Amino acid sequence: MPLRAKVASSVSRTAAALSRAAGRGDGSVIGGWIGLKIDPELLAHLAAGRAIALVSGTNGKTTTTRLATAAVGVLGKVATNSFGANMPTGHTSALAKAGSTPYAVLEVDEHYLAQVLDATDAHVVALLNLSRDQLDRAREVAMMAQLWRAALIRHPELRVIANADDPMVVWAASPPTNHDQRITPPQVVWFSAGQRWHDDSWVCPECGSTIARQDNQWWCTGCPLRRPQPQWSVEDDGVMDPTGAWHKVQLQLPGTVNLGNAATALAVAAEFGVRPVDAVLKLGSVTSIAGRYAQVERDGRLIRLLLAKNPASWLEAFDMADEAPTLLSINARDPDGLDTSWLFDVDFSPLQGRQVLITGDRAFDLAVRLDVNNVPFQHVRTFTEAIQSVPPGRLEVIANYTAFQDIRAELDRVL
């Protein structure tokens, strides 16, 4: 690297280490922020010479990145932003901290995908899903798909792993009908993991007609856009690869959605030459991800933490949660989005019949929504009060981002 980049990288690592030592955080942002101030091209310098995979989407990025890192790890050391700092500052800090590694798997915020593709010259990108998320400060879903589409066409050498079940992702990964025929579009490998949330993809992004669905198929009623045939798919409790071979997947993570994340991770690893039969053995080593899915025993209660930050992820969280007392926590701070109206896009009826507690900065917004769904609840002011309000045994905790971090801190920053 140029001398300036070497100095910036060294300062980045030092700043991150000082942040951790001072208890001010994990250093995954501050190190990259300072490094990029010294050398704005630092991310590109650090990415040079590595085979890089990027993972992006509205939901499932952090988990899929961790699973893909484990799978690619069959080949050697892999750099990754394991704490979920998914903007260029986080990528820069992660690569600087890792030092020289042949591979990197990076989670990327969907808004920054174009910028990170340009900076890293990635080998492969996995596109998971697109749905509404923090609309008070983020782009509408169709606009996000358009940005992805424009970014991908600029990288014809890229390999794309894309979700065949999400019409927005399929459209984004497909070349525009009027694209320059002299430019070869990226090659796309499709995976299927099912899609439970449909409310952001009833309208075709190509022509504006209705999207029709039957069983696991979908198609536009006004143009040729339709579900492509996937090469990777979830079958029962395993994954079918492009050769037709089935691989049993034994995860320590709950929920059928994580089988889909595992299928994506196997597809990413295959692009690096890792055989599915070797990669699948590594997936079971992943337990919790920055506190997600962590289980902690406290005062006779077995507490499990589930992160849910938008309507689609709340739907999946309800699927993962056991029939047990459940604490819901909602904040509306800047990282969460300030508008809580999205709560009315979530169907809370699966919680009927169980003990429900609510807390967080915007607990009363949640109270109104639960009342509409005829779900009885108890308001608690602290996490300690919540623990004392339920009998010994399982306690499910479902929280959005900063509420999740608040509870995680009370549990001593469980990993």
Q: Which CA distances in Å does 285 have to 70, 91, 168, 238, 308?
A: 8, 23, 32, 16, 23
Q: For residue 352, give both structure tokens.
A: 């009927």
- Binding residues for Zn(2+), by number, are 204, 207, 220, 223
Report the C-alpha gap between 14 and 54 in whole angstroms.
26
Binding residues: 204, 207, 220, 223
Distance between CA atoms of 155 and 263, rounded to whole angstroms? 24
d(C-alpha 207, C-alpha 223), whole Å: 7
What is the DSSP pairing of strand 378-379 with strand 356-359?
A: parallel
Catalytic residue flag (residue 339): yes
DSSP one-letter string for 19-47? HHHTTS--STTHHHHHHHHH-TTHHHHHH
CA dist., res. 340 & res. 334, Å (int)? 12
- List all residues 6 or more positions away from 277 whose beta carbon is below 8 Å from its beta carbon: 245, 247
Amino acid at the residue 304 = R
Structure tokens at 334: 């800047």
Tokens 């399929």 sit at which residue? 170
SS3 376: coil
Residue 358 pairs in a beta bridge with: 328, 379
Strands 187-192 and 232-235: parallel
Catalytic pick among 339, 347, 371, 412: 339
User: Quick check: helix, strand or coil at residue 53?
Assistant: strand
What SS3 class is residue 108? strand
- What count of residues does the chain have? 415
Per DSSP, the three-state class of 271 is helix
Residue 39 corresponds to which amino acid? D
Alpha-carbon distances of 18 from 11, 12, 13, rounded to whole Å: 10, 10, 9
List the catalytic residues: 339
